[in-house]
Each structure stands twice: as C-alpha cells, then as structure tokens.
Amino acid sequence: MRARVFSGMQPSGNLHIGNYLGALKNWVRIQQEYECIFCIVDLHAVTVYQEPAALRAKIEEIAGLYLAAGIDPQVSAVMVQSAVPEHAELAWMLTCVTPVGWLERMTQYKAKAAKQESVGDGLLQYPVLMAADILLYQAAIVPVGDDQAQHLELTRDIAQRFNSLYGETFVMPATSLPSVGARIMGLDDPQVKMSKSETGAGHAVGLLDPPDKARKAIMRATTDSAPGVDFDNLGPGVANLLTIYQAFSGWTDDQMRKHFAGMRYGDLKKQVADVVIAHLEPFQKRYREIMGERGYVARVLAESAFRVRPLAAATVELAKRRMGLYTAE
C-alpha cells in the first residue's frame, strides 16, 4: 500500500507564490508516488472572523487553484474539511489529551493572539484540529512550508500521548519541507515571511495577480546598497529573490551562481519577474478554464469527500474504542 500524504490550506486571503513554492508545488510533485489527500481547511479559517459569503466563495477558489496547479482529482482527493464531520469529532478527543501549556507555546498562536483584542478559544485549539486532520487519515507524510513545522511537532506529541495513554492508534506523521522555497519572505520586507493576511501592495505576488502587477511588485522589492549579487555576502532581500528564481526554475546551486554572480539588482529583478510570470500565465489560464466549467469544482469536492469519509470514520471508530467511548459492538 502506498503511504498516505495529507496537507491543507486555509480558504482566507489570497494564495501567493510562497504558498505555491512552500507547499502546493510539492503536492503536485508527490501525488503519483503517494496516496494524497489535499484539504481546504475551512474550520481553521473561522478561527478568526470570515465574512460568510466571501468564505463560501473562497473555498471553491482554493479548490480551483489546487487543480490549476496540477493536482489531478483522478489521483488525489481534493476535499473540504467541514464536509467530513470526523475532523471535528477527532479534534475533541485529541483536545482532551493535550495540555494547554503545549498550545500556549505555539508561535503562530502567540502572534495571532497578540493581534486580537479578545482571543477566541478556536485560535488556541487550532493546532489540535490540525493534528486531527492529519491523524484522522493515518498520514505518514505532511508536505508544508517551514512555518508549519512547529505544528507538526505538536501533532506528533499529541499522537504519542494518545498512543501511550490508550494504546497504538495513530501513525506518526513526518514533516516534508521543500529544499528550496520553504520560507519565502515579503518582497517589501524580507525580514517577515510572505503572508496572506498582509494586504499592502508590493508585499506578495498573488497566484491570481495580473502579470503587470506581479512585475511591479518584484521590480520594487527591497534589496540592499551593494552594487550587485555577491554570493559570499547576500542580503536577505536579494537572497529571497534568488530563492524565488531557483524554486521556480529548478536550477542547481551551481547554475544559480554561474548565472547570477555579479549581476546588477535591476537585471536580477527583471529575470525573477520573467520566470514568475512565465509560470503564472499558464496557471491562470488553467484556473479560468476550471472555474468556467459550471459545477466541476463542486463535483470534485463531493466525490473526494465521499471517497475519504470511510477512512475518517474508521479512525474515529478506532479512537472511540480505544478511549472507551460508546460504539456499537
């Protein structure tokens, strides 16, 4: 049996090249090798308020983006978290074995909580729900960007604790990070990661941004005062541009050095813009075709949910039995 892969993204904000290079691109690459489930995690999105109509539309948009990137629904499942109620059910069972202190230590929780006047309980529970997503399907591999590594460590801690309290139940999932592009930084500020919730022009390149907007953001990216690319002394902004180029092109370190050493920043940016746009244009064309076919995305989501539901139900049944919760004999 092929090992199982699970990953997901929140249907909030606009997906950007960081989401693509950190996660989505790698999902496409591994889907022939593993049994993959790619989720749109709407229950995670509502840990902060989402306008209902916008959220509803965003879910199908994200599904369309997965498909446009090359996820093949004949091969992989593309499903919505709230369509499979076992996610929430298992999350409760895991909540009961998770010390609050573990959750309060999560850096994403601390960063998000600092921005809120009143912190919803969902924000604290967020990583437990994420653990449930993964453990529910007994996933062995979870391909994500670097910012999710801490949540995955916590997932393993929760699984271990459940297994030691109640007996072997969950597969221990491994984190899979891309070798290049695991953490794409903001174009305007290379000290912070490129983020969906950051809306300033020039921060990110959205996967659905028109090419001229993408080019403008890249040409304005923050660099430093050196005259050109010096591989022995790369500032964070220049390093980020080179990473974006390398991740899109698939070039080796050697090829990168030979080609870019000494290049002036203006020329570097132009070439980064070219490689990004060369990928975005066919991607956006596929996206428009997919969304133009009425009912197609909804059908993929329904079929996928139908396909994965028995896997989820089996794990919940097992976890209930292990805990002594009520199941029919």
* Number of residues written out for the chain: 329
* Closest distance to ligand AMP from the beta carbon of 24 (Å): 7
Distance of alpha carbon 226 from alpha carbon 137, whole angstroms:
50
Residue type, 210: P
- Size of site (CB under 6 A) for ligand TRP: 14
Q: Looking at 4, 5, 19, 251, which residue binds ligand AMP (CB under 6 A)? A: 19
Closer to ligand AMP by CB, 97 or 247: give it. Answer: 247
- Cβ-based nearer residue to ligand AMP, 64 or 145: 145
Residue 44 engages ligand TRP in binding (rule: CB under 6 A): yes
- Rounded to 5 degrees, what are φ and ψ at 282? -65, -35
Residue among 134 and 300 whose Cβ is closer to ligand TRP: 134
Cβ contacts of residue 302 below 8 Å, gap of 6+?
83
- Catalytic center residues: 112, 193, 196
Shortest separation between residue 307's beta carbon and ligand TRP, angstroms: 18
Residue 5 structure tokens: 């892969």
Task: Map the footprint of ligand AMP across residues 103-162, applying CB under 6 A.
Answer: 144-145, 147-148
Choices 57-65, 113-121, 142-150, 279-287; region in contact with ligand TRP by CB under 6 A? 142-150
CB of 147 to ligand AMP, least distance (A): 5
Quote the tokens at residue 316: 């919940």
Closest CA to 279 of 256, 252, 248, 250: 248
The C-alpha atoms of residue 327 and residue 329 are separated, in whole angstroms, by 6
Name the helix (H) or strand (E) containing 4. strand 4-9
Q: Residue 83 or 241: which CB sits closer to ligand TRP? A: 83
Q: Indicate which of ligand TRP, ligand AMP, none lies near residue 18 (CB less than 5 to 8 Å, by partner kind).
A: ligand AMP
Pick from 128, 134, 187, 207 the residue near ligand TRP by CB under 6 A. Answer: 134
Interaxial angle between packed helices 52-69 and 296-323, expressed in degrees from 0 to 180 and rounded to the nearest 10: 100
Q: What are phi and psi of 302, to 5 degrees?
A: -70, -45
Q: Is 176 in the site for ligand TRP (CB under 6 A)?
A: no
- The DSSP code sequence of 159-210 is HHHHHHHH-S-S--PEEE--SS-SSPBPSS-TTSB--TT---TTS--BTTS-
| Contact status: 17 vs ligand TRP (CB under 6 A) | no
The answer to whether 15 contacts ligand TRP (rule: CB under 6 A) is no
Rounded Cα–Cα distance for residues 292 and 131 (Å): 35
Q: Which of 138, 148, 223, 284 binds ligand TRP (CB under 6 A)?
A: 148
Q: Please state, in angstroms and rounded to a whole number, the distance separating the CA atoms of residues 30 and 283.
A: 19
User: Which residues 186-205 are close enough to bind ligand AMP by CB under 6 A?
Assistant: 193-194, 196
Q: What residues make contact with ligand TRP under the rule CB under 6 A?
A: 6-10, 41, 44, 130, 133-134, 142, 144, 148, 151
